[in-house]
Amino acid sequence: MRGIQYIYDNQGNRVKVVVDLRRYEKEFAIFLDQLSRQENSSNASSNGTTNSNPVHGDVITHIGGGSAANARTLKVKALLQTAFSYAGVPYRTGGTTRSGMDCSGFTQTSFKTIGVNLPRVSRDQATVGKSVSANGLQVGDLMFFATGTPGRINHVGIVSDTSNPQGIKFIHASSSRGIMETTMAIDYWKRAYMTSRRVV
């Protein structure tokens, strides 16, 4: 069973995305609305109609057909869409819902939507997956910090943007501002940083 969408890449090429729904139904369902909006916006003609039929020269990309890289890309897009949907949710110790979340509750809840079950607290989450160096971070990785006792992990966030290696961005549950995106360009986070893990 396949799901098909037509989107545009960064070079303006029309891309046919084919997703194996037997393996990635949940991720595709999360991502589908975003893709549909992009398709409708990009394909609208001057008379306001939309053409969703393939045209000669279309680039065809199969996602979920066996490529681990493509499968990860789809999962990470779904993960970040969910994570950013919580922006502004207030901080609440022990919280895991939109009424309030703490840092590890936020990461646990976000990853659960793509089928990844993380432990409840940040120091235990730091034992899952594989270790990633600070200069090898990718979007979707987990970053861990010691913001209390030196050397003791007590905070976690999700890498959201790696376009600036000196200012990697991550989304997390700030104890003072709730769910928000921040940057490693801030000295506080540079000093508090401990390690990173890749679980997708």
Annotated catalytic residue, options 75, 155, 169, 197? 155
Annotated catalytic residue, options 78, 80, 101, 103? 103
Question: How many CA atoms, within 13 angstroms, populate the side-chain half-sphere of residue 10?
Answer: 0
d(CA 24, CA 19): 7
Nearest to 85 by CA among 110, 108, 117, 103: 110
b/e sequence 84-98, b meaning 16+ C-beta within 10 Å: eebeebebbeebbee
Nearest to 136 by CA among 168, 180, 170, 172: 168
Q: Are 178 and 95 in contact (CB under 8 A)?
A: no
Q: Is 103 a catalytic residue?
A: yes
Annotated catalytic residue, options 75, 169, 172, 197? 172
Active site members: 103, 155, 172
